[in-house]
Amino acid sequence: MNAWVLRAMGLGALTVGLEILLGFGMRYWPTSGAWMRILSLIVLVAAVIAWGWLDGRSDRRANPDPEHGADLTMRWLKAALAGGIGAGLVAWILDFIPGFDLGDQGLVFNITSGAAFIVLLIFIPGMLGVALGRWLAGRDGKKNAPATTAPDPEPANA
């Protein structure tokens, strides 16, 4: 399975799962909607940053030279597009099941505007996580690299 497909399926499923939990929460505790939305957003963004961090760290360890690393930008862009559109489509389908209250948006909204928001919530934190992971792994690599010592130049006679 391609790496971007795994990310798209995992993060799309997480998005739909959070929408379902949010829908049930809003149905039974309607006055607590604000903090439930914020909590769902934090969970999704934290999961994306963590996965991006793991990608960046493993890429930097495999390729210590920044010029020869993997193209993680395209991996995360494809994952974000597929995850956002897929999550919108699945949420639209699940909204027809009695008992699921996912907002009653139409198909066009879910695969355009709703998906665009999810795409941004996956791509931008994912790339932040990649950058953080690469930076931290590169910093750790420099600390653990054997120090090469150059011979001391002879002091100039004064």
Q: What is the pLDDT of residues 98-132, one digit of tens each?
A: 877 777 778 888 888 889 999 999 999 999 999 99
| Alpha-carbon span 24 to 27, nearest angstrom | 5
pLDDT computed for residue 144 by the predictor:
64
| Alpha-carbon span 12 to 10, nearest angstrom | 6
- pLDDT higher than 70, residue 135: yes
Q: How confident is the model at residue 154 (pLDDT cuts 50, 70, 90)?
A: low
Q: How confident is the model at residue 148 (pLDDT cuts 50, 70, 90)?
A: low
- pLDDT higher than 80, residue 97: yes
Q: Which two tokens stand for residue 144?
A: 């653990």
Q: Which two tokens stand for residue 31?
A: 């006055």
| Alpha-carbon span 135 to 6, nearest angstrom | 24
User: Please, are residues 113 and 39 in contact by the beta-carbon 8 Å criterion?
Assistant: no
Rank 40-49, 61-70, 100-109, 128-137 by mean pLDDT and report only the highest. Answer: 40-49
**More confident call, 11 vs 137:** 11
